[in-house]
Amino acid sequence: MRPPHDDSPFFWDFFRVEAIPVLQHAYGSLWLTRVEMGRMFLYASLVIAAAAAVILILVPLLVVEMTSRRRARTGGDDARESERAKTAVIERKRGGALACVVYFTAIGLGFMGIEMALISRAIHFVGDPVIASAVVIAGVLVLSGVGSLSGGRWVGRRLWLAPTIVAAAAGVICLIGWPAQSGLESGPTSGMTLTLLALPLAYAMGIPMPTAISVLNRDCPRLTPWAWGVNGVASVIATSTAILIAMSSGYSWVMLAAAALYAVAAVAAIPLARETPQEQDVTVAA
């Protein structure tokens, strides 16, 4: 038994996954009536949301891709040559397709994870979950939008830079933003510290997506729809996943997981932004 605290406020949660076989053995087909239904609904929402996201986002993308390839095979020489050129561009990216999936999945999961963790801290200081959610969501959207507009000017092709900044800032907030872990007293000072750290964090969170999309549009536009698709699927899955992690281990682990995901995105950005030999020749010739 542990007392609830700011990092793990789910004092009503008594669910344990390892208890399901015991309940099934004891109650048979009625075991579901003895389980905390809130957690079961959360699991169900995660499965349903993930299935819906895949069906409504990735499946249409796959259909469009297959249709495009079929038209290229049945079309004339120009269509086949165009298809081969597009495929060659992806191959020249030296793992760019895999890096694209990893990068946009990681920032999709990480963005929502950080937002959920910040909402939990804002509830502590504001006192009302609805107001706290509105303030955090609006603030993150506005600041990340400003980052999207201005961040690309100083990032350029260094796609690893913004995810690295986000990962570092999220790690610092995780270390000093939860009084239960850091020993800081809850109050105006702690709230001001968290706010000052969250402002540049939200700004930097808006940079990775548009900068990477702009690079893909120049180098490999065929991957751009897939970048949007996998990022959308990850964002849908991230909300339920963040709550599950928070209920099991606390919001500090949600923030740590988000920081780790942005670190993974920073690594994936290296091959994604690397110029191919042909692109370098074009740049020199220009």
| Per-residue pLDDT tens over the stretch 206-228 | 999 999 999 888 888 888 899 99
Reported as a pLDDT band with limits 50, 70 and 90, residue 82 is low
User: For 10-42, how does the pLDDT look when each residue is reduced to its tens digit (9 = 90+)?
Assistant: 767 777 777 888 888 888 888 877 787 778 888
Q: Which of 151, 171, 174 is nearest to 162 (CA)?
A: 151
pLDDT score, position 179: 47
Helix (H, G, I), strand (E, B) or coil at 75: coil
The pTM score is 0.80
* Terminal Cα distance for the chain, rounded: 68
- The predicted pLDDT at position 177 comes to 61
| 250 and 6 Cβ atoms separated by less than 8 Å | no
More confident residue, 183 or 139: 139
Q: Return the amino acid letter for 200.
A: P
pLDDT digits 0-9 by tens, 153-176: 878 778 899 999 999 989 888 777
> What domains are defined for the chain?
93-274 (1.20.1250.20)
The answer to whether residues 217 and 38 touch, using CB atoms and an 8 Å cutoff, is no
Assess whether pLDDT exceeds 80 at residue 181.
Answer: no
Q: Which of 73-82, 208-217, 269-278 has the lowest mean pLDDT?
A: 73-82
